[in-house]
Structure 1
Amino acid sequence: MKKEIILKVENISKQYRLGTLGTGTISHDLNRWWAQIRGKEDPYLKVGETNDRSKKGESEYVWALKDINFEVERGEVLGIIGKNGAGKSTLLKILSKVTGPSTGSIKSRGRIASLLEVGTGFHPEMTGRENIFLNGAILGMTKKEINAKIDEIIEFSGCERYIDTPTKRYSSGMTVRLAFAVAAFLEPDILVVDEVLAVGDAEFQKKAIGKMQDISNTDGRTVLFVSHNMSAVKSLCTRGVVLNSGKVVFTGNVGKAIEYYLKNNKVPQFYVAERSSKTNKFNKIYLTDEMSNNIDTPIQRKQKVFLNFEVNANDISGLRFGTTLFSNMNEPIISFPFSEKENFNELILNYHLKIQLPTSILKGGDYFVEAALWKVGQIYDQSDEYISFNVIGDSTQELSGEGIKGVVINNEEWIVKDI
């Protein structure tokens, strides 16, 4: 059976001019108009540079998006992932018709509801109830249709006590709860959700993801979801699009998309991290075996492995240390606070910290380590260069059965006996 394409993006590009308010100057607008009159290409589309925020660049024009192409089927949940500045929010704003593309076209069928920022489309002087009707009208709903859904919207949002209070008095969490409830329950054909769910608490995030799954599976509606929470993307989405510097660099199965993103946006695998800058307190981060030899190969499960930190704690009294092991889905697995000592001794210039990793409980796969040194809320050094390693062994085979979930596994021998 042929799938119905509900959204088609063809050669979408978006160019911005840096350093000015508005879209440009009168002279630039005249040049563009004269080129259009003569049937010529926009002269400023030729000079744009890739939107790499870490580099100065030569042109005042940048491409936030460049030649984006993809299709979305009805009922599909598409995850759009990428690092900050990749162009995700710009793409969603174009899809939601908040702004227009510089080149290209978008073809869609049905209503599009957007949740791009906290409180987008809400009037702060109007009550929550009035904003429900306002947003419904914007989506093309009749008053009768909104009335039929309003009780469900209020109940789902959890804002019943404040529903007749102006939304300017709402917290950011309350605002996003009500905004999501409006967008989800007024039955759009395409629901566009940016990173706003991160504002909500854990309970609401779980409810929101469950609701989006219902929208897709039960109602056959389409969801476009942007998040830096890879676990949420993997559990919710069926397909993924990876953006980097305004370009689509991967599209396909959501698991493969996440794997591609993590592999290309982490520091490549290494086993010894030298950090020579005078501002760094972590001089070296590395893995060793039980004989104190550096490890430069993937780790076998149940192999004794130690995580080593060489720390320069000179002239800072009361310095604290902590490190966390993450899975390749950015899920924190185990934290190792520095519990043996309350703080570092300012008279000792250098420390060598050594922690044994619990390899016997880890599944096969990639892992990353983050660490930080801080004092009374001030961070002195944080290893944003994640040292990474790979665990191999029998855990992959053991986890091939149905019903095995989680990020760690304990397959020590169990003793079963009658009580």
Structure 2
Amino acid sequence: MSITDKNKSVLNRLKDLQSLYEAGILTKEEMETEKAEILGSNKKNVENSQVSLNQNETYDEKRRYNGNNVTKHSKKEYTGNIYKFFHSYKSIIVIIVLIVIVVIISVACVKSCGDDHVNNDFAENTMLANTDTVNYDDTVSVCVSPAEDVPTKFKYIAKKKGNFRAIIEWPVSMTGLEEIGNLQRSIMDKFFRYNYNNINACINRYLKEGEESDGYANGFMSVKFIQRQNDIYIFNERFFGNYGGAGASVICGENYLNFDRELGRDLKIDDLTNDYMALLNLVNSHISLDEYSSKAEKLPENFVISSKGITFIFPAYSIGYGCQGQPNIFLSYDELDGVLSETFKRAIGNIPFEEKWEKCKLLGNMTDENGSYPIEIYFERRGHDLRKCVYRNVNYGGKIKMKGELLDDKWYFTGNDNGNYFEIAVDVYNMKGTANVGQKEFEVSFK
């Protein structure tokens, strides 16, 4: 008489048989007899099923022993099962090990890159006095380069010592540049004028010199990326120093770096033209003695490139009165066409700058009394303009479209979260700020 239901499949009958045996209803002999009847004369199926049942039997017998009394035979079978398990899943284990190694290396690299980064909880709150600010053109041009897929990334460095401070937007990588070192060295040479190879050494030297001056002295400097004009990357320095008196003891102004990718350095006046005197005369034609004190005797090495032309920035008192700060003389490319070198014309290109947007990503955390949550913000940047801003909650995967702005040295992202007004405001230098969702406020910080 058959113990299991013959109307069921062979697999289901074997499962039923195993359940009866494990429940203690059948003896091992009864189970073997019924199993042989189910499998009949199919030797291959008998052997396969025997392997499966023997493995379960070994496990069942092992469970009945106290851990200190397991027989040598059971230990061997148990070890064999462990081997089979690892053999079956060795690909998964290898993948997991590789992921762990990659994570460890990534963490080490991030730590290394951030060792010299100083985050201080202060932001720029002093505007430069008596300084003409150049109204640069916020447009970008496109160029073809083997490094066009390189992302634009900055490290924001803020340091303070005594009454002097420095806030630097330091390029880590730039779209279109395979080698960032030449640009970094040009920034240090142009704005710090120290023969150092480390930005922190340059900043520390500036702060030390300020600290060693009169105790009432105070000063500030900042360096920012302004725009990219085809092969040219443009950075701006703003500076202010009050060394305890009036007149010459107060200095302030702006300098510009026009880094040429092909030359691997800052552009000079001689790079713009092959006819220096013709360019000087053209600039002087824009200097009216009704407005300024004198014509220019030479061209300044301080100038800024835009998609519409070149602005020449003269030192204070050189052609103007003290109250005029740094006089700015702008000439369009149409006016300059006859005096510009062909090399420079190729460098600036003819593609409209406004077509070029840089892709950016902020990674950080949003924190409240309940804990910290990883977040991401993706956007495209062109100078101070932002677009295609998307906020993402890493844990939950939710995405919110945001409007982005860069105002008063802060990132502002605004949107709507399930009917609630959602705003994130972050200082561009220390990358810290707040987020407001309806009436609830969070702290935010980004790397």
* Same fold (TM > 0.5): no
Whose helix proportion is higher, 1 or 2?
2
TM-score, with structure 1 as normaliser: 0.24
TM-score, with structure 2 as normaliser: 0.23
